[in-house]
Amino acid sequence: MRLLIVGTLQGQIGAATKIAMDRGAKVTHANDIEQGLASLRAGQGADLVLCDVCCDIGTLVRALAAERICTPVVACGVGTDARKAVDAIRAGAKEYLPLPPDPELIAAVLAAVADETHQMIYEDEAMTAVITLADQVASSEASILITGESGSGKEVLARYVHKKSPRAEMPFISVNCAAIPENLLESELFGHEKGAFTGAVARRVGKFEEANGGTLLLDEISEMDARLQAKLLRAIQEREIDRVGGTRPVKVDIRIIATSNRDLADAAKRGTFREDLLYRLNVVNLRLPPLRERPKDIQALARHFARKYAEANGVPFRAIAPATERLLASHSWRGNVRELENTIHRAVLLATGTEIGPEAIRLPDGTHVGSGALGAGHADLPDHVRSAVESAAAVTRGLVGRTVADVERDLILDTLDHCLGNRTHAANILGISIRTLRNKLREYTQAGLAVPQPGEQRLAG
């Protein structure tokens, strides 16, 4: 856990720093926002920024966003000035922390952004085999390619490998290759010099240098542009990178882990992914089975999420009823762990009895989970489950006579509408790359269709 503290905090810096360090955090201090930004640009990195409320929180949040530094900001201040706390939250801070610092409160803030969201929860034999192989290769320097469907836990497994490796105390840096526009990804990975391009207001160290000594995760690497693939191959082979606009190479010592939800061997055959790069990345392949292929994990994860979200929402913990576990096991879980987590979070809020019953297990549109997986001929099903099966059949019949393109368009737009225009969330739910989604939305816009913008929903009709 890397913590950057920005500001003077009226003498409370020492106390806050000591508490954070006692909790295992590596702490860096900057006197003001510019010094803090300079530290982040220089590649020192931070998992959390703790900023004095007397600083301009809005300026800091906007600067981080403009330079694509995805680090949450928590405001803090001496005393109980409610107005400053509210203004800080409105300016983009994730939380407000009153000072003098309370050890348990700081521990809670650190835990919220630390490793508890990256636990490996598994009981199924299929996952046990994957973890056994991961343990076996973690101590090596070999590049690892983790493959699996969207939402199956590829990044969680990558973090697990890092923690089991000799580099565990060094940085783990993740880059989502699908979420960053092509023209910015090169700078994000390799850094740039001041003035290298419009907007390059200062030298910026890239993720390769930030991960020096540790592990660099290249998430969804299949979406990387072919030209950039060549530069990545050289960086892996030579263990050195060239900043954009730079005049000399920079040596780096990192371990590469890449993930993909696509068949890279097939992509190499089609010429969309470099075969030589695939060989460099795929020294060891860890294939994560989809959730439907590891049924015991469905139960283990559901119990874990039920307890987690009961605590997070301040509601009583309810065990998952046996009938509910059978219902969860019958669902296909195309969104894998991500879909299951959202479903259980929703169930925790909807449940009313002493247990989480089947009636609380619902899809985002309110329909019951498992309706499409149970099939026909189940006369002994409860009424609400039988009704859900019939509803699913009616939906299927309604698709007859429509073109695939029409159904795809409505699915994409309805999902984007559900996500309030958030492209990344919609792409994850749909199981497609952000680039594919953007191309589809461009087609729809050119055809005159209303496409939700971030934070918006389409008007009905």
At 86-121, the pLDDT tens digits run 888 888 888 888 877 777 777 777 766 554 456 788
pLDDT for res 402: 64
Same domain, 180 and 200: yes
Mean pLDDT of 315-320: 93
User: Is residue 40 assigned to a domain?
Assistant: yes
Q: What's the token pair of residue 199?
A: 């907007």
Q: CATH number of the domain at 132, please.
A: 3.40.50.300
pTM value is: 0.66
Same domain, 248 and 261: yes
Domain stops at, among 287, 314, 338: 287
Same domain, 6 and 109: yes
149 band by pLDDT with thresholds 50, 70 and 90: very high
Q: Is 371 exposed, middle or buried (0-12, 13-18, 19+ CB in 10 A)?
A: buried
Q: Which of 47-51, 198-202, 365-369 has the highest mean pLDDT?
A: 47-51
Q: Which domain holds residue 65?
A: 2-113
Q: What's the token pair of residue 36?
A: 């803090």
Same domain, 155 and 265: yes
Residues in contact with 405: Cβ distance below 8 Å, sequence separation at least 6, in sequence order: none
User: Is residue 345 assigned to a domain?
Assistant: yes
Strand-pair category, 250-251 with 240-241: antiparallel
Instruction: Annotate 2-28 with b (16+ C-beta within 10 A) or e (fewer).
Output: ebbbbbebeebbeebbebbeebebbbb
Same domain, 162 and 238: yes
Q: CATH number of the domain at 345, please.
A: 1.10.8.60
378 band by pLDDT with thresholds 50, 70 and 90: very low
User: Is residue 377 assigned to a domain?
Assistant: yes
Same domain, 215 and 245: yes
At 402-451, the pLDDT tens digits run 677 778 888 898 888 888 888 888 888 888 888 889 889 988 888 778 88
Same domain, 139 and 272: yes
Same domain, 13 and 90: yes
Q: CATH number of the domain at 412, please.
A: 1.10.10.60
Q: What's the token pair of residue 163?
A: 């923690």
User: Is residue 454 assigned to a domain?
Assistant: no
How many domains, the chain?
4
User: Is residue 33 assigned to a domain?
Assistant: yes
At 339-348, the pLDDT tens digits run 999 999 999 9
Same domain, 274 and 133: yes
User: Is residue 236 assigned to a domain?
Assistant: yes
Domain stops at, among 250, 272, 287: 287
Same domain, 99 and 232: no
